A and B are shown apart, each in its own frame.
Chain A
Amino acid sequence: MPESATLACREQFRTPGQQRETASIGMWVFLANEVMMFGGLFVAYTVYRASHPEAFAAGSADMNILLGSINTAILLTSSLTLAFAEHSAQAGNQRLLGLFLILTMLIGLVFLGFKFTEYYQHFQEHKAPGIWFNDSSPYAASIQMFFVFYYVMTGLHAVHMIIGLGILSVLLFRAVLGTFTAEYHTPIMFGGLYWHFVDIIWIFLYAIFYLPGLHK
């Protein structure tokens, strides 16, 4: 790609630097908005966990802690490989950039695979909320509520993962076309920010769903 083309900016901007900084503000504002969206769910979870501590501990004890922990490690690894991809983009190494993007997407897919395996296990154990739910304990209604939050929150997280995979696919496509250079790689950085954000959300989800049952 000729340098003049890579350093051009869209017509509403005066310089490429202005374009990059504007995009950066936009990205962080978007992430603030995402924090508030998940924040609403975290608040509701916290309110009900405070009012039904036993039920939430019992629900958490039904989690597959082994699979959850492995999955957490897997997702963190994907953040690492994506950080390598960002580094390759900064260094202008097109081949490594593509490679790390593919690797990140594969690891992301493995995470989703394990996640859906867990969903299926809960479904088989009649822990999926709704008409299939079956629990004989005295807190059955509240345990079901725990699973409602589990499915809604990890489900919303999974939706974000799937959107993230879509973003990475577009980035990969553009990387293969040679769009990104050592001078211009803003989309890679912002794709990375999104992915890392989704990872951070998972760390909190892991803590609130898998860990409360441990000391039971």
Chain B
Amino acid sequence: MIEAVAAKTQKNYLNEKQGILSWLLTTDHKRIAILYTFSITAFFFVGGFFALMMRLELLSPHNWLVGVDTYNKLFTMHGIIMVWFFLIPSIPNTLGNFLIPMMVGAKDLAFPKLNLLSWYVFMLGGTVTVYALFRGGIDTGWTFYTPFSTTYSTTYVVAAAVGIFIAGFSTIMTSLNFIATVHRMRAPGLTWFRLPIFIWSMYANSVVLVLNTPVLAITLIMLAVERIAGVGIFDPALGGDPVLFQHMFWFYSHPAVYTMVLPGMAVVSELIPVFSRKPLFGYKAVAFSSVAIAVLSFLVWGHHMFVAGESVYSALAFSFFSFCVAVPSAIKVFNWTATVYKGSVSWDTPMLYAIGFIGLFTIGGMTGLMVAVLGLDVHLHDTYFVIAHFHYIMVGGTVMAFLGGVHYWWPKVSGKMYPEGLARVSAVVVFVGFNLTFFPQLILGYLGMPRRYSAYPEEFQMLHVLSTAGATILGLGYVMPLCYLIWAWHYGSDAGPNPWRATGLEWKSSSPPPMHNFEVTPVVTAKLPYDYEAMKEELQLA
């Protein structure tokens, strides 16, 4: 089928070279983005399957389906796969990989071979983790808290840790590539304040990942040393300090939470202006708020240990900085809504996802403030409230933005339009399914349902059943785009270079773009990105 299409279209990155080897050995950032898309989609549905199994188990207050031990493994593997093999690489390694060179007007990323290597390293890490899964899984929770993980758990902790350790190298390589590309590969005339916000956010995101991932790597090494050699580092019975592990883990993992949502913000900042036909309101404020989030992300990790024996003074400081994160986050939300205000809004699928993102991210952020309150956290810590809070950010935020971005740039990536009506339905299904899944969990948590339990008091059953029903709808909402996007890849109508009449260098290239993105290196003269007023005539012609 692809050959038939290729015959009637011009040469592009998809048809310039043929054969499986031309994909496996490619250094083209666009093809590597597609390789990543296959990988993370597979991991997403594996992780989603675990979630569905958990939700089924929770239909009944008593263990009825998988039992306690398997349930422990389910939530652990769900967390590990979703965090390290879907969320962190999701937007950066697919959309980011594809778009960053195009948005800065470059032929490729700074280090194309490193980019390909990062995919292989990612797949190696994934393989090792899946090996741990097939050998019998792991039951520590994705946080690997010691001393359970180092001393008492009888599952495949080291294999999973090694898998994550390897995948970390892939993250570092990609981030390093992005930083070098944004610094040095920009087209003539493309100054920092003419860059799309996507680039600003992805840049801030990459800086965080380069600085926090090595700390996770070294923490996992220490964990593996303690577990294998039986020498004391974190186990209090051997003279270690388990809270130190939590400090080191969250020094990585809290910034990592922001590295999951910053790319989502990157995507939404692109979608909102296009479908409002207005420049982004407060461009510089939105750009600097990404940097502010990156800086603050390193100052809040201790809010995970409010009830773990942290000193009251550091708890106060961490609580204060956690509140501070609300400021740049709110700057973004207010600027997005101000952009939509009095715009000529069109409700295409990407915009539906973007609006959904703003609403769900706001709920996620507000509930985040609630758990940042020292007193309230004592009540809410380790309950479903926390689960629902971070799913509002990661699933309601990042996954919504990811899907919105996939729809928005789908014509650029594939050269084809997706079926708009069906896509709008799926966006609504995802939104409804998401809220039905996680809003009951906010209430459950507030009522005291602890996380990580497979059985619960009967009075919680109603809310759990609602949540499971929502998860089923949400799953359907995720399968729909998978089906119609595959269909559209083959049978969609031709998109043309700029179907959304959008600004941005990526739309100046043909769809799908040629091998080196641009026939001639673009020169940027526009003073502002997203200048829809000034570019009205030019965009009408396109």
Q: Which residues of A contact B (CB under 8 A)?
A: 11-14, 18, 21-23, 25-26, 29-30, 32-34, 36-41, 43-44, 47-48, 51-52, 129-131, 133, 141-142, 144-145, 148, 152, 156
Chain B residues positioned under 8 Å from A37 (CB to CB): 214-215, 217-218
- Across the interface, do B239 and A40 meet the contact criterion of CB distance under 8 Å? no
- The answer to the question of B212 belonging to the interface, with a C-beta cut-off of 8 Å to chain A, is yes
- Across the interface, do A44 and B244 meet the contact criterion of CB distance under 8 Å? yes
Residue of B nearest to A140 (CB): B239
- Across the interface, do A40 and B244 meet the contact criterion of CB distance under 8 Å? no
Contacts A12-B109, A22-B110, A33-B210: A39 and B183 contacting too (C-beta < 8 A)?
A: no
Chain A residues positioned under 8 Å from B108 (CB to CB): 11-12
Contacts A44-B248, A141-B238: A129 and B231 contacting too (C-beta < 8 A)?
A: yes
The answer for the CA separation of A144 and B219 in the assembled complex, in Å, is: 19
- The answer to the question of B33 belonging to the interface, with a C-beta cut-off of 8 Å to chain A, is no
Contacts A51-B241, A130-B231: A33 and B107 contacting too (C-beta < 8 A)?
A: no
- Across the interface, do A145 and B232 meet the contact criterion of CB distance under 8 Å? yes
Chain B residues positioned under 8 Å from A144 (CB to CB): 231-232, 239
Chain B residues positioned under 8 Å from A23 (CB to CB): 180
The answer for the CA separation of A44 and B220 in the assembled complex, in Å, is: 13
The answer for the CA separation of A142 and B232 in the assembled complex, in Å, is: 8
- Across the interface, do A26 and B111 meet the contact criterion of CB distance under 8 Å? yes
- The answer to the question of B307 belonging to the interface, with a C-beta cut-off of 8 Å to chain A, is no
The answer for the CA separation of A36 and B209 in the assembled complex, in Å, is: 11
- Across the interface, do A29 and B232 meet the contact criterion of CB distance under 8 Å? no
Residue of B nearest to A142 (CB): B239
- Across the interface, do A40 and B215 meet the contact criterion of CB distance under 8 Å? yes
- The answer to the question of B52 belonging to the interface, with a C-beta cut-off of 8 Å to chain A, is no
Chain A residues positioned under 8 Å from B229 (CB to CB): 129-130, 148
Chain B residues positioned under 8 Å from A141 (CB to CB): 232, 238-239
Residue of B nearest to A47 (CB): B244
Shortest beta-carbon distance, B99 to chain A, in Å? Answer: 16
- Across the interface, do B176 and A22 meet the contact criterion of CB distance under 8 Å? no
Most buried by A among B109, B185, B218: B218
Chain A residues positioned under 8 Å from B111 (CB to CB): 26
What would 11 more interface pairs be, CB under 8 Å, given A25-B180, A25-B183, A145-B231?
Answer: A12-B185, A22-B181, A22-B184, A26-B180, A29-B210, A33-B172, A33-B210, A33-B213, A51-B241, A142-B239, A144-B231
Most buried by A among B112, B214, B231, B248: B231
State which residues 378-404 of B face A: CB under 8 Å: none
Of the residues B112, B184, B231, contact of A148 by C-beta under 8 Å? B231
- The answer to the question of B521 belonging to the interface, with a C-beta cut-off of 8 Å to chain A, is yes
Chain B residues positioned under 8 Å from A14 (CB to CB): 521
Contacts A43-B248, A148-B231: A33 and B211 contacting too (C-beta < 8 A)?
A: yes
- Across the interface, do B176 and A44 meet the contact criterion of CB distance under 8 Å? no
Shortest beta-carbon distance, B164 to chain A, in Å? Answer: 15
- Across the interface, do A36 and B231 meet the contact criterion of CB distance under 8 Å? no
Chain A residues positioned under 8 Å from B217 (CB to CB): 37
Chain B residues positioned under 8 Å from A145 (CB to CB): 231-233, 238-240
State which residues 238-255 of B face A: CB under 8 Å: 238-241, 244, 248, 251
State which residues 191-245 of B face A: CB under 8 Å: 210-215, 217-219, 221-222, 225, 229-233, 238-241, 244
Chain A residues positioned under 8 Å from B112 (CB to CB): 12
Of the residues A11, A32, A39, A47, contact of B241 by C-beta under 8 Å? A47
Chain A residues positioned under 8 Å from B177 (CB to CB): 26
Chain A residues positioned under 8 Å from B238 (CB to CB): 141, 145
- Across the interface, do A12 and B214 meet the contact criterion of CB distance under 8 Å? no
A–B Cβ pairs within 8 angstroms, 27 of them? A12-B107, A18-B185, A21-B184, A22-B181, A26-B176, A26-B179, A26-B180, A29-B210, A30-B176, A33-B210, A33-B214, A36-B210, A36-B211, A36-B214, A39-B214, A39-B215, A40-B218, A40-B248, A44-B233, A51-B241, A141-B239, A142-B239, A144-B231, A145-B231, A145-B232, A145-B238, A148-B233
State which residues 461-506 of B face A: CB under 8 Å: none
Shortest beta-carbon distance, A176 to chain B, in Å? Answer: 23
- Across the interface, do A32 and B180 meet the contact criterion of CB distance under 8 Å? no
Q: Which 10 A-B pairs have the closest CB atoms?
A: A37-B214, A40-B218, A141-B239, A12-B108, A22-B184, A36-B214, A129-B231, A26-B180, A40-B215, A130-B229
The answer for the CA separation of A41 and B172 in the assembled complex, in Å, is: 19
Residue of A nearest to B176 (CB): A29
The answer for the CA separation of A121 and B180 in the assembled complex, in Å, is: 45
Shortest beta-carbon distance, B115 to chain A, in Å? Answer: 11
Residue of A nearest to B178 (CB): A29
Chain B residues positioned under 8 Å from A22 (CB to CB): 110, 180-181, 183-185
Chain A residues positioned under 8 Å from B351 (CB to CB): none
- The answer to the question of B516 belonging to the interface, with a C-beta cut-off of 8 Å to chain A, is yes
The answer for the CA separation of A204 and B218 in the assembled complex, in Å, is: 17
Chain B residues positioned under 8 Å from A47 (CB to CB): 241, 244
Most buried by A among B184, B229, B233, B521: B184
- The answer to the question of B352 belonging to the interface, with a C-beta cut-off of 8 Å to chain A, is no
Residue of B nearest to A148 (CB): B231
Chain A residues positioned under 8 Å from B106 (CB to CB): 12
The answer for the CA separation of A200 and B345 in the assembled complex, in Å, is: 57
- Across the interface, do B218 and A48 meet the contact criterion of CB distance under 8 Å? no
Residue of B nearest to A39 (CB): B215
The answer for the CA separation of A114 and B375 in the assembled complex, in Å, is: 55
Shortest beta-carbon distance, B154 to chain A, in Å? Answer: 20
The answer for the CA separation of A32 and B214 in the assembled complex, in Å, is: 10
The answer for the CA separation of A12 and B177 in the assembled complex, in Å, is: 13
Chain B residues positioned under 8 Å from A32 (CB to CB): 210-211
The answer for the CA separation of A156 and B185 in the assembled complex, in Å, is: 34
Chain A residues positioned under 8 Å from B239 (CB to CB): 52, 141-142, 144-145
The answer for the CA separation of A130 and B212 in the assembled complex, in Å, is: 30
The answer for the CA separation of A30 and B251 in the assembled complex, in Å, is: 19
The answer for the CA separation of A144 and B107 in the assembled complex, in Å, is: 54
Shortest beta-carbon distance, B36 to chain A, in Å? Answer: 19
Of the residues A11, A13, A40, A129, contact of B214 by C-beta under 8 Å? A40
Residue of A nearest to B216 (CB): A40
Chain A residues positioned under 8 Å from B240 (CB to CB): 145
Chain B residues positioned under 8 Å from A41 (CB to CB): 218, 222
